[in-house]
Amino acid sequence: MTIQKVLYLGYVWPEPNSSAAGSRTMEFLCLFRQQSWQVIFASVAALSPHRADLSALQIEEKQLTLNCDSFDEFVRDYQPDLVVFDRFFTEEQFGWRVERQVPNALRVLDTCDLHSLREARQQILKQQLQACHNERERHLVLQAECDTSVLVQQMAQSDLAQREIAAIYRCDLSLMISRFETELLRDAFALPAYLLCENNLMLTSVVNESPDFQHRQGFISIGNFRHAPNWDAVLYLKQAVWPRLRAKMPDAQIQIYGSYPPPKAIALHQPDQGFHVRGWAEDAQQVMATARVCLAPLRFGAGIKGKLADAMACGTPSVTTSIGAESMHGDLAWGGVIADQLEDFVDAAILLVSDEAQWQLAQQRGQQILLDHFDRQSAELDFIAAILQAREQQAARRLQNFTGAMLRHHSMKSTQYMSQWIQLKNQSITYSTP
């Protein structure tokens, strides 16, 4: 069984300059086109002003309508060999339609990161913050501290985890961006290894001729403001990190970049305190390369952090948390400092921004991480090989995956009936309108 036609069902339109997820989507689309596969990118999301120009890759765009039989006719006419669901929400919306209209298509889920893991960590953090007696104690909480057993227990009682893992079972292959998440699903939730494909970010090489220590200045923080861990990190920077850092380094300056800043983010802009909220960056790597140190006090989250990968590619050392650096460096020393205590975080930031020797050492470590863990050529070869192997073994794997068949039979029926009910309801409203 070969692959000639690909349908990529996007949760949103790809914005590589806005998020790591957007960059990852473009990596896959470019790689599919390199195989000379025909690709259609389709989404129910509204067209965004920062979306990538897919026509340059000869990729057709298709605007979809949610809960509408028009998708059935579209996918039946197109007859894709491979359907990629961008996050499990999309699989829930369209998986049953894809199976009914093109049952022989290989169904692949790109998890991007485990949403249920991120939510579990966020809930644990909230519980820890609620247990604090005052604002000072809350500022000292830099990590959602818990061992794996507590994390698994939090996830296991979550509807989100049940939905997400069910979607993984219903697909022929799921792309995992983090080794921690792959091992968590395999060891704690007993998912079969053949359903999971670990696929890291496929990064370009180190940016050539990035500015040296003397031609950079200050700190930077960057991330999509719509992403809850990023917004929490910005607030934590403003409320906890920055007052302590400025007390020790009164002239310190930080530039905060990120797409879709809400008014409450713009309100944090206080130049007299060295805290500059800049909003969307047209070229994230360009602004990253002008800073000496990237600060990412991520208190919860999942997956691989694109901002920290970009920092290493730009030769910019970073200070982050254990969650921020998770699954990114293996046994190698971090390209900066990992700090899970507030005072350690502040001291590390000041050291890196002011000590050229330590800064250069951190930069070298970041470049080594890129070489060892983010090699584009090997990642591309492994990814295509996994897709082709899943296609070749598709029939055998589906027979082996009885749990997935059972979930498709039961849960997809409920999703199907709900979708059809909404469609009929919408039609009724349309017909009754004068």
- Region 287-296: what's the mean pLDDT? 97
Q: For residue 37, what pLDDT is reported? A: 98
DSSP letters spanning 212-270: -GGG--SEEEE--TTSHHHHHHHHHIIIIIHHHHHHH-TT--EEEE-SS--HHHHTT-B
Local structure of residue 86 (DSSP, 8 states): E
147-156, 275-284, 293-302, 414-423: least confident range: 414-423
Dump pLDDT digits (tens) for 305-359. Answer: 989 999 999 999 999 999 999 999 999 999 999 999 999 999 999 999 999 999 9
Helix extents (H) in 103-158: 115-130, 135-139, 148-156
- Cα(384)–Cα(3) distance, integer angstroms: 11
Q: For residue 418, what pLDDT is reported? A: 63
Q: Catalogue all structural domains in the chain, each as residue range(s) with its CATH number.
A: 5-116+146-202+377-432 (3.40.50.2000), 213-373 (3.40.50.2000)
- Region 252-269: what's the mean pLDDT? 95
Q: Which two tokens stand for residue 71?
A: 């998708």
Q: For residue 126, what pLDDT is reported? A: 96
Report the sign of the C-alpha dihedral through residues 211, 217, 219, 220, in that order: negative
**What integer best gives the mean pLDDT of the chain?**
92
- Region 58-81: what's the mean pLDDT? 96
- Region 397-409: what's the mean pLDDT? 93
The percent of residues in the chain predicted with pLDDT above 90, rounded, is 81
Dump pLDDT digits (tens) for 152-198. Answer: 999 999 999 999 999 999 999 999 999 999 999 999 999 999 999 99
Dump pLDDT digits (tens) for 84-132. Answer: 999 999 999 999 999 999 999 999 999 999 999 999 999 999 999 999 9
Cα distance between the two ends of the chain? 52
Give bridge partners of residue 9 from the DSSP assignment. 42, 85
- Cα(297)–Cα(304) distance, integer angstroms: 14
- Cα(225)–Cα(266) distance, integer angstroms: 11
pLDDT interval class at 424 (50, 70, 90): low
- Answer yes or no: are the C-beta atoms of 225 and 260 closer than 8 Å: yes
Q: Which residues contact 249 (CB under 8 A, 6 or more apart)?
A: 350, 353, 354
Dump pLDDT digits (tens) for 206-239. Answer: 666 789 999 999 999 999 999 999 999 999 999 9
Question: Mapping DSSP to helix (H, G, I), strand (E, B) and coil, where does residue 199 land?
Answer: coil
Phi/psi region, residue 17 (left: phi>0; alpha: psi -120 to 50; beta: rest), is alpha
pLDDT at 201 over 80: no
Within the chain, what is the greatest distance between any pair of CA atoms?
A: 74
| Helix H or strand E segment including 143 | none
Q: Which residues contact 420 (CB under 8 A, 6 or more apart)?
A: 67
pLDDT at 24 over 80: yes
- Region 298-302: what's the mean pLDDT? 96
Q: For residue 159, what pLDDT is reported? A: 95
- Cα(259)–Cα(273) distance, integer angstroms: 22
Q: Which amino acid is at 348?
A: A
Q: For residue 411, what pLDDT is reported? A: 60
The residue that leads in pLDDT, 200 or 170, is 170
Question: Mapping DSSP to helix (H, G, I), strand (E, B) and coil, where does residue 103 land?
Answer: coil
CA distances from 358 to 127, 225, 253, 290 (A): 37, 31, 20, 18
Token look-up 């919306």 returns: 93
Q: For residue 429, what pLDDT is reported? A: 56
- Region 275-282: what's the mean pLDDT? 93
Q: For residue 23, what pLDDT is reported? A: 86
- Answer yes or no: are the C-beta atoms of 28 and 41 closer than 8 Å: no
pLDDT interval class at 425 (50, 70, 90): low
- Predicted TM-score (pTM) above 0.85: yes
Q: Which two tokens stand for residue 284?
A: 């994230």
- Answer yes or no: are the C-beta atoms of 122 and 144 closer than 8 Å: yes
The percent of residues in the chain predicted with pLDDT above 70, rounded, is 93
Q: Which two tokens stand for residue 260?
A: 């879709």
- Region 277-303: what's the mean pLDDT? 94
- Cα(375)–Cα(205) distance, integer angstroms: 8
- Answer yes or no: are the C-beta atoms of 269 and 247 closer than 8 Å: no
pLDDT at 428 over 80: no
User: What are the respective helix, strand and coil percentages of the chain, to the nearest 5?
Assistant: 55, 15, 35
